[in-house]
Chains A and B, each alone.
Chain A
Amino acid sequence: MNPFQFTRVTTPQAAVSTISKTAGTYFLAGGTNLIDLIKREVIIPEQLVDITKLPLAAIEKTSSGIRIGAMAKNSAVADHELIKKHFPLLSMALNAGASAQLRNMATVGGNMMQRTRCSYFYDNSMPCNKRGPVQSGPDKGQPNGPGGCGAIGGSNRMHAIFGASAKCIAVHPSDMCIALAALDATVNITGPKGDRSISFTEFHRLPGDIPQKDNTLAPAELITSVDLPTNAFAEHSYYLKVRDRASYAFALVSVGVGLEMKGKIIQQARLAMGGVAHKPWRLSEAEQFLKGKEASEFNFKQAATLAMASAKGYGENDFKLTLAPNSIVEALQIATENA
């Protein structure tokens, strides 16, 4: 690792003002993604601001649901009684991610901000449009490795089938974020210009012409918490994660489902997919279609067909065009039976 400065802060205000002062400064939460990227020189920071001592780890009831602090550990959220009871989809998604050790370190804010696992992005001798310029040191401002997208026409087995651009076909790798997108979460943010809240589905973005930008967080902004509104999906929730080995691997495709049922009839449906796009991919058309319909394999297959309308493969990942709809149907079936 290259040398960098290290500053510890204890208030969100100090975190924001410290990061605002020096270019190439990053918040350090669990470190599980940032330290990895620094070791690989994908990020070469000038300074890290240790935010692990911020008082933002609470998980508490609010008038409209539950608020989860940005510094809450992934394991603490997954094992929390309120989350297991009212938002089992979130528990399932978190427990499907990484390992027990990593979940003890990783935070909610850091999980949202984790970078893609595209192998070209991770190797700065390979072409990639996402890495952007070197952040500090003698090469500051120079491109960090060659430009272009190595994955288009290259090794793209893990890559997107929805919403990609000619500049980048990477996916956002988080499991937790799939559940939060499906459950209509809101993100609370503080920054140099004050506080704001945005809907979770608007937090991450598609690559378009600026694949360097994963999300809509402005420079120096800090995620403080995530709000989950009360819902009636707890009894019929499921997170299906398909991967190359049974555990400790990123998703090829994942599906988060929440159903509100009355007898055999679906009152409300929530569906989001992971491993398929640059952001958690909410399946709004399929949700609309399922509303008021009977929970049957026939209807599930139709919903999956609707969801796949805009899908496009890039070669090695063409198998996802079959795996994804099959996974949607299976996740819906299991969620229907859960109770």
Chain B
Amino acid sequence: MEQENLTNEPERPNASRRDFLKQSGVLAAIALTPPVAIAAVDQGLDQKLATAFEQQPLRVQINGVAKQLSVEPRVTLLDLLREQLHLTGTKKGCDHGQCGACTVHLDGQRINSCLTLALMTEGAKVTTIEGLASGDKLHPMQEAFIKHDGFQCGYCTPGQIMSAVACIGEGHADTPEQVREYMSGNICRCGAYANIVEAVMEVKNKGGQL
């Protein structure tokens, strides 16, 4: 995939990358590179060059696999997962922390990957919905969502399941009321809430088994 496509956002009008390069401290980096690089900027290769200059190394473990990556600072963990690593189980709903569709585990804790920059995960362990099952054997929470019909369209489901697993792990799933409160960061547009609470309570009450 083209690296430029890592963020699918339009540039601000009037703010070409080249202008940005000229005005920012990245210029300092260019000053230290051979004249050929500067010539490349002048010949309109600035787009690719800018991306190369702006990328930084990232070491992160994703679903148990150690990765050495190179990412632009502005790339979120969500976009890294979906666009660069093709782990599209994690969903983009609102992209602003308001829906929970992008929930993943960072060092075992549930977070919103849309408001986390990829570079913030340096040295950390990330688990996505793809990393929950062991081989062909589904995680008990995945089984429970199927058994209790914890979804309709399924768009919020990966986030719900990641959140639910962490909710039990935190000790915040003692009662249906507590589950409703501590799962409130996951919005379901289809309104499958009643079944989701049943699924979480069953996994909790059976000690993580189903």
- Give A residues with C-beta under 8 Å from B: 1-6, 8, 22, 28, 30-32, 35-36, 38-39, 41, 46-48, 50, 52, 75, 79, 98-102, 104-105, 136-140, 246-248
Contact = CB atoms under 8 A, between A and B. Distances in A.
Contacts of B139: none
A17 B50 CA distance: 26
B185 A101 contact: yes
B149 interface: no
B103 interface: yes
Interface in B88-117: 95-97, 100, 103, 106, 109-112, 115-117
B107 to A, nearest CB: 10
B14 interface: yes
7 contacts: A1-B9, A3-B73, A8-B119, A100-B184, A101-B163, A104-B106, A136-B24
A139 B16 CA distance: 12
Contacts of A138: 14-15, 19-20, 23
B97 A3 contact: no
B167 interface: yes
Given A101-B100, A101-B111, A2 B15 contact: yes
Contacts of B186: 99
Given A31-B115, A35-B76, A102-B97, A3 B185 contact: no
Nearest 8 interchain pairs by C-beta: A99-B185, A6-B73, A247-B184, A1-B74, A248-B184, A104-B109, A101-B185, A35-B115
Interface residues of B, number: 49
B12 A1 contact: no
B74 A4 contact: yes
A136 to B, nearest CB: 7
B54 interface: yes
B102 to A, nearest CB: 9
B15 A100 contact: no
Given A28-B120, A247-B181, A46 B25 contact: yes
Contacts of B15: 2, 137-139
Contacts of A39: 95-96
Nearest to B181: A247
A32 B120 CA distance: 12
B184 A31 contact: no
A105 B12 contact: no
A137 B50 contact: no
Contacts of B205: none
B82 interface: no
Contacts of A3: 17, 20, 24, 50, 54, 72-74
Contacts of A99: 100, 184-186
B122 interface: yes
B26 interface: yes
Contacts of A139: 14-15
A75 B111 CA distance: 11
B74 A137 contact: no
A19 to B, nearest CB: 13
Interface in B1-46: 7, 9, 11-12, 14-15, 17, 19-20, 23-26
B56 interface: yes
Interface string B129-141: 0000000000000
Contacts of B12: 2, 41, 137
